[in-house]
Structure 1
Amino acid sequence: MSRLGKTEKTIFTIAVLVLLLFSYFLYDDSLLFPKSNNSQLDLIGSVATSQNDVRRKNLDTFSWLPANREDQIFDNDSIYTGERSEAQIRLQDGTIIRISPNSLITLNMKNGQMMLDLRYGNLVGDITKGTALKIKSGEKEFNLDGSGKIEFKKSHSGNVDLRLLSGDLNYQDKKERKVLQKSQPVAVSQQGMKPLVKPTIELQTPNNTVFVRENPDDAMPFAWRGNGNITRFEMEVSPNGQFDHVAVLKETAEGKTDVVEPLEPGPYFWRVKAYDKNGTVGFSEIRQMTLAHLDAPVITSPTTDARFQMEIETNDPSQLAISTEVRWSAAPLLKSYHWQISRDEQFSAIVKEGNAGVQSILTPRLATGTYWVRVSGATTDKKNSAWSASVPFTVQVTAKKEPIPDRPELIAKDIKFRLPRPEERRPASEMAPKLEWKPVAKTRGYRVQVSKDLNFQTPQTYDVPNTETLWSQVEKGQHYYRVYAVSPKGQLSPPSDIGHINVDDMRPILTVPQLMEPFNNMSIFLQTQQEPFIWLEWKKVAGATGYTVEVSNTEDFSRILYTSTMPTNRFLIKSKIPLGKIYWRVRAEAQGDSPSQWADKREFTVYHQKNETFVK
């Protein structure tokens, strides 16, 4: 940076001097506002105190000058105080006049008596004993005498209110003289001096009213009745009883208003101010009110995406459903509730809905699936809250599988039994082997299997309700048996251990018949299928009283075409039989004895002369 030149130094020096000069003017403005020539005016007092914007003007000047402390006040001087400004004037007789903010007053002497012309605003005067003070308001004048402190209020409408703060003072106009009472302010107007009657307000909205808002801007109505010549009302709402913070201010010319401004829920205070045509203010009592918002209920159970799983013992699919509990919390104002359960989040497929007077319900029986539930509340005067947040939950119900019973335990695993002779007489229980086992819990019965082979490929099967049975179809030889427990729904337990039955037959044993005709694997051609006339023949067996023959078209004789028991050793097939292979067998019978074993089966093939094709 280059050094300042001679010209720049000169400019800088002049700027500093100008700054110092104006700083001095801020400290002492007597050069800017020279004192008027007051040598020809009567001195009536001085400025005792001056705070902020206080100004003074002489009768013979047009400009307002700052009024500083100790400035002299002359006859017909006017004093003005701005906003948040005050001044005190000390008169020659010692009277102190306090001028409030936003006031204008003129002081002059009339016939040796001080006259105050209060244009507007407020002032307080300390009147010493023996001093008479004349007050002028427009064309109206009145006198004050005595000693004490008095407050003057004058609005732009022109009326003056007098209030005695302390001491004893009299007031007098041309008509009357009265003592000013401390408890009764006086209104001075062009019509004379009358006791000041402030407007009064009677609140009609009850104290401690609870306003419930369904929406943040729902109107809260307030009402009152005003007495007096009232021009307007101001209704105030504050969070505290001191009204140092006003949350809502409503101006109206009617005795009612609606508050629609958004407010936080909670307690509030409210009051009404009434203004009459003279600017006099009357205050109502302070009342309380409470604002409550109808918050939606909050579902506490089920939780979001909760799962309810259960197994039910049933064979009916319609019974695969369960109920669950729904609980919620809500504001004390809500006294009844409406609930909905839906298949979808938009609640377009509502499964069930209903009303409740408590904060819980038991849902209807719900089948497997995902559901949504929501709740809304209502007050006693039928104001409804919003719906709660919808909560999804899942139900899963399955048929409970019946437990498999325990395997039975055989009491006797190795049974030896002798078939009685015909001449022997035994109880029925001794005519067949007795099979027994221990009971199994939760069963409806038992299944018994008896087999000639250890693998139980073609067993005899019996269902019995008890834990024992007689094997009535007893046969000679070695047999095997086992037992299953059967559940109430028909499920079988694992089988018991395998038991053995050894049957010894002491009766005469019949020999197996010897088959003769037709020869084994013989082919037979028929003229007609209606009456084949095929003879079956075998040799007689000693001791046999008859024979049983079986004819089948299956090798294992699972489907019998003919069976017959006869005393002779021949059997004629006369009825129609199918073409193809035919199997037959015979056993000997003896009255009172066991039959013989079956003879080894034989087979023959039947053809028809018109169709010699083999047909199975």
Structure 2
Amino acid sequence: MIGLSIGFYALHTDFSFFNIGRNGAGSGNSIGSVSQVESDVRVRGTKNIFWQNARSDDVVAQGDSLFVGPDSSIVVKFEDGTSITIGANSLIKFKTEGNQVKLNLQYGSIKSQNLPSNLVLDDCGKSVNIESKGDADLEIGKSSECGKIQVKSKKGEVKVNNQVVTQNKDLIVAPPPTAKLMEKPLVNEALVKLESLSALDVAKLNEMKPEDVQKKIEAETKPLLPPQLIRESAKIIVDKDRVPAASWAKAENAKEYILETADNPEFNNPTVTRTPASISKIESTSDQVYYRLKSVGNNNATSEYSKTGKIDLVYPSIKLKDDKIVYDYIAKDSQDVGKPKNFNVRWNEVPNADKYVVEVANKDGDFTKAQSYTVRTPASAVKIPGQGKYQYRVSAYNKAERKISSTSKMGEIFYNRIFDMKTPVIAKAASSLQFFFQKGLGKYIWLKWMAPESKSTDKFRVEISKDQNFSNLFQSYSTNKNKVLVQENIPAGQYFWRVRAEGQEKDQVSDWSKPGFLEVNSGAL
């Protein structure tokens, strides 16, 4: 029994450290190129460790392998202008022998309306020759089992091992185990399917010697051995283009494989996957994955479990795209501290993250009293109550509510309050004024004040009132100078006056100055 090799690696689209060359996965001679790719198609060259996503115009070289996933396809155009379409769930390896194209179709399907005239299929080490003329239209299908290739011709002349394929009928080719059986017709024009022959049938047909029959029976009844792990532990850095995957060599007499994965070494509640392929992605909600394999043979016979392997999944740390956000708020007056405002914060996407939690600390930097926001995308709006400096941080969680990345570094939001309106000051000499008029009416009185320098000040507002609360205004003035001339007649009596600065922005004002006193008397001193 051939020993099985299994290892974990990443199905990565651009892992340049291990790539030999992007425009041609291998280093062999060119056989053709990719002309069309649909969905999940991957290529691996002879010197590549990792599978890469196939792209249009990629070179297909000697020794390259193509894997075509579900609901996918790829068109390969050969150097002579002919082409084939490889269907979904297929695995194929390209070779050349002389001037012949040789395809190792391990499983899957091929279609062509323009087939190379000298195509050879490699079926588990045995060659199947397919000849066609002109615009032959045919389909080729094969399961993972050796010795069974199904050929169907829709148009044109097609021969398989020198036998003509009848149009619109399936021809199932099963190369016999010995040269003696090759002398007998493999198939006729009707639908014929040659099942695998038992050892006794082979002995009868080929008149094998008893000792050869015994060897054949022992080979067929030999139990499947468990797969052998290449490494029992590994570490993978997960990103959006690289996910954990299992890979192993095809086992002798194995039709498919059972892969079990779990987040515990006891394999409680495992995820079980059956696949005929030798590649399988691994879905995990944990940062540690345990895995083991079985081979499945004829009549669903299974091998023992392989040794248990473990893979540590390392997720990238969260990096804030806006680690410092600054917003300047122009305050209307000295009491205006700003209204609550939403700020947008962003960060990088974390693979396998089901949600992100954003925490915003209070102004003291206390995260025990933080506001928390849960979002599904790597961005969120956070509400800041008013001016000040605030810190925030982000964490990622998977569907199992497990934290899968380190918490981001602290981001900062600066909600700055800008207020530059300076309060005018009434000079001491003008804070208490007395005037005497013979007719008891005051007029042409100057009111002056000092105006501190401020870029925001545009003009001044002056009010004269009969009371200190300024609820009974006598007059109000607006001026862009630091003085105003009262030209109206002022009846005798006591008055109070005050002044404030006003800005260019609407409703932007300073505090009122301390009130000044004004007294108008009638008669001489």
TM-score tier (shorter): 0.3 to 0.5
Q: TM-score, normalised by structure 2?
A: 0.33
**Comparing both chains, which one has the higher relative contact order based on Cα–Cα distances under 8 Å and sequence gaps of 6 or more?**
2
Which structure has the greater CA radius of gyration? 1
Q: TM-score, normalised by structure 1?
A: 0.29
